[in-house]
A and B are shown apart, each in its own frame.
Chain A
């Protein structure tokens, strides 16, 4: 009986592998000779692949829920005492399981693509399915070989150590990884369509239109994954920050930057027919960088909180990365001439010029982050010496790029296509600029002396004012209904603006919380009190709470204002059975104007050492991140303009849907 579940898992993985192989062959064949493959065959294959992935995932979950320690993965990452939630999330807390999730998400995206391919005459679509199949072969291959979670142990243990303590202490583990995967894996779809278009020697905007949704979905999820990751780090890790430029954080940021560039330049290609070849480069790069990011995460090349363990997956991923990069760019080099656009922007002072600058800045940003992340690895590989590249480098590099991006964001969306005169720009931006300067003057008068905060505030307020102005000017009337109609009409534009506002808010919070933070490290005897940020802080007592799988030791830190108790913070340490390392969890007291962050540095029953931080406006960071995501969702919610109906049947293109 104990072997039924592993067997089911195995079956699912093998089924997925076989189906993805067949899909790769059928899809690419159908692209070459549409009449040689029947549409039904493709559909069945895709469903089989999805079924295999679902079966594998289900088997894993069932094995975890039934404490089936005969399964190697369960024995390594599960313990009987884990609660239901963390038992479910354990399915992606280890290497093998996370790859199963990856394959499942990939199969899901493939099924979504297959729904849009209504006949084998759709050569772009069938080719894309073939490429998706190829990618799936790799991941199912990993599951069945190097990182097999379904291996059966001859002598199963009675209980296991449970997942990494950090992965069973916060609800976020149920959201952050799946979201990140939905983002990461989603970029396979644009890649597959781009490859298919190159194979067909067909440029044009069809592949862009058809991948717009997938790309936006992936981008929105990746944005969410990044924001949630930051939130998790802030709420759980207790070092007082949300972004450490950890190699693996960088690995998720780099594809996000490139994908953001692609979203912008895709619009220019669709509108003005420019940047075609560049769009291919961006899509290829985004996908390749997701694989590189996975390699960095999973291979322990970089030591990081995210790396699971050393395994054979690393070399396999590196090989796949090089294959994608080599294969993709070779194909691009061979077919590049066919897809190069011949028209070019007339002037930098135009929408397309602004997007060009935006693309330059974003790719430069991605390059800098990539360089800082892999440089120590390369130096070590070539010279054997170890060097460190950390936060100060990234901060210093990111600062000018971020300001330039904010500036481009403030000007670009309000610039007309083709050519803008200085007079036109001035008339559109004069009142926003006035608003921005009024904001900085107010801040200075209020006592803010940080140049960074003032500069960011100037840019952000100007941008927000320009957006409001744009709404008022282009709305048919001033009533809320008119504004709503406008915003519902052009959802990509206004979704984009919403995302820009979110980014501006994030920038303001990063600047303010960084420059105006208050920090203190305090050691308090029991009952002793001290002052912090206008409050009297007392260490009242420390309590122990045994739980089913952990022992929680907390400290009661009481905040008083004018003698009144206003808050009791309980930062805690959780020690897990079978895990050597205890996990500290800070306590965060959030109000709209500031966060007070209490982290334990040292704790004994009679004495506590605390790291206290006061971050102004901190909670708005998550709101800003949410706005960016909401912008993506808003753009997604609209019907694609010039969708299928407007597509002109040109020579060599797909005939109308069969």
Chain B
């Protein structure tokens, strides 16, 4: 009777204390989180080795952190900020792998493994195979020895052979996969880089906090050279050159990007844009149309380029209006871009209505 009372008392006291805890949490609210730091931890430093920009002291990381802070101040959402960096550096910049595309499996496999594991554990505890062995008072080694070596029977043998075959096949497949595919990725790694953020030791430290866009071209060039396979970053660099009017370098990077990923719509579209700048609108249209023919939803850029090429390069306002119409139908159009689309559409209509006057 007394122990029942103690039980009850302890239970009530523990629950009361936990209630105090819960109440405290509810009233106090969860501790505020540092959004900038959280975002910074999810972005990879482009010039370091596998650390986020939150941990690196490299100039690039500092500039990127600054960019994150500014965008937060500008009221952008986390997703928008992440997308901003993705557009510039590619998926590679996400050190926090998204649960889609190539990195989907990283999230799915552990869940599957956990489910299978729990299923196996439950199955093993429910099936009680040998009650006799279990009831042995003390599992003395002698008992174990008997249990360990069951007499082989023919049915067992067949299933064993099947299992051996399965094992062997799996092992063989794994061997081939690993042996053939892994060495390819061994040789081509950039050397150097520190996990430490110790890059400050370089001679002549520059100003520390810089304009966010001012990851210098040379720096980005180095990062691209160090990670030749990261096409998104290369495209960002090429776009800079394009904006600066350095068509030679932009062209080099676009060709390299297209060599690596011939079907990349963004590269195709921008290459087309470059060709327009070089005064080759017919080819330009070809490239942009390739980008638009891609099975996935075409990038807005490509449509914008097409409209411009049609209007300015080929003097075909109807085609331009068509492309602009498609842009207007998109739901991912930001107000600023929408305004630009309207302006260009107005220009196109003007030309369409009065081509004679203009000539």
Contacts and interface: CB of A to CB of B under 8 A. Distances in A.
Contacts, number: 310
B125 A303 contact: no
Contact of B110 (A336, A364, A386, A583): A364
Contacts of A592: none
Interface string A345-369: 1111000010011001001100110
A341 B227 contact: no
Interface residues of A, number: 120
Contacts of A238: 196-198
Contacts of A201: 149
B143 interface: yes
Nearest to A436: B14
Interface in B141-196: 141-145, 147-150, 152, 156, 160, 163-164, 167-168, 171, 174-175, 178-179, 181-187, 189-191, 193-196
A592 B284 CA distance: 68
A241 interface: yes
B84 interface: no
Given A303-B193, A304-B195, A581-B201, A392 B150 contact: no
A314 to B, nearest CB: 6
Contacts of A593: none
B181 to A, nearest CB: 4
Range of interface residues on chain B?
Answer: 35 or more
A437 interface: yes
B25 A438 contact: no
B96 interface: yes
Contacts of B163: 333, 336
B195 A305 contact: yes
A505 to B, nearest CB: 21
A450 interface: yes
B185 A337 contact: no
Given A273-B147, A437-B17, A604-B205, A344 B24 contact: no
B208 interface: yes
Contact of B148 (A339, A360, A379): A339
B128 interface: yes
B208 A523 contact: yes
B51 A441 contact: no
Given A314-B186, A444-B20, A647 B28 contact: no
B352 interface: no
A330 B200 contact: no
Interface in B16-37: 17-18, 20-21, 23-25, 28-31, 37
Contact of A440 (B18, B109, B156, B208): B18
Contacts of A344: 124-125, 127-129, 134
Contacts of A385: 91, 102, 229
A384 B188 CA distance: 11
A431 B7 CA distance: 9
Contact of B51 (A239, A436, A438): A239
Given A205-B141, A600-B200, A305 B121 contact: no
B214 interface: no
5 contacts: A201-B149, A244-B55, A318-B183, A347-B125, A375-B105
